[in-house]
Amino acid sequence: MSALVPLPVIVPLLAAALSVLLGRYRALQRVVSIVALTGVFGVSIALLIGADDDGIIVHRAGGWDAPLGITLAVDRLAGLMLVVSSFVLLAVVIFAIGQAGEEQRRVGFHPLYLVLAAGVAASFVTADLFNLFVAFEMMLAASYVLITLGGRPDQVRSGMTYVVISLVASTLFITVLALLYASTGTINMADLAVRLEDVPEGVRAMFAIAMLVVFGIKAGLFPLFFWLPDSYPTAPGPVTAIFAGLLTKVGVYAIMRSQTLLFGTPDWMGTTLLVVAVLTMVVGVLGAIAQDDMKRILAFHIISQIGYMIFGLGLFTVAGVAGAVFYIVHHIIVKTALFLVAGLVSRRAGSNRLSEVGGLVRSAPVIAVLFAVPALSLAGLPPFSGFLAKFALADAGIASSEWIVVGASLAVGLCTLYSMTKIWAGAFWGEAEEAPVREPKNDRRFGAPALMILPTAALALGSIGVSVFAGPLYDVAERAAADLLDEQVYIDAVLGDDATIDVAEGTQP
Q: How far is CA 482 from CA 49, 113, 398, 444, 486, in A?
A: 17, 34, 19, 50, 6
pLDDT digits (tens, 9 = 90+) for 248-304: 899 999 999 999 999 887 888 899 999 999 999 999 999 988 888 888 888 888 899
- Using CB atoms within 10 Å of the CB of residue 366, give its burial: 0 to 12 exposed, 13 to 18 middle, 19+ buried: middle
Q: How far is CA 337 from CA 76, 347, 397, in A?
A: 24, 15, 28
- The closest alpha carbon to 121, from 14, 264, 240, 238, belongs to 14
Peptide bond into 67 cis (omega under 30): yes
Give the C-alpha separation, 22 to 10, whole Å: 18
The amino acid present at 114, given as its one-letter code, is L
- Look at residue 151 and tell me whether its pLDDT is greater than 70: no
Q: What percent of the chain has pLDDT over 90?
A: 50
Q: What's the pLDDT at 55?
A: 87
- Look at residue 503 and tell me whether its pLDDT is greater than 60: no
- Look at residue 500 and tell me whether its pLDDT is greater than 50: no
Q: How confident is the model at residue 504 (pLDDT cuts 50, 70, 90)?
A: very low
Give the C-alpha separation, 224 to 215, whole Å: 10
pLDDT digits (tens, 9 = 90+) for 37-56: 999 999 999 999 999 998 89
Query: Is 200 strand, coil or helix?
Result: coil
CB atoms within 10 A of CB 64: 11
Rg of the chain (C-alpha set): 22
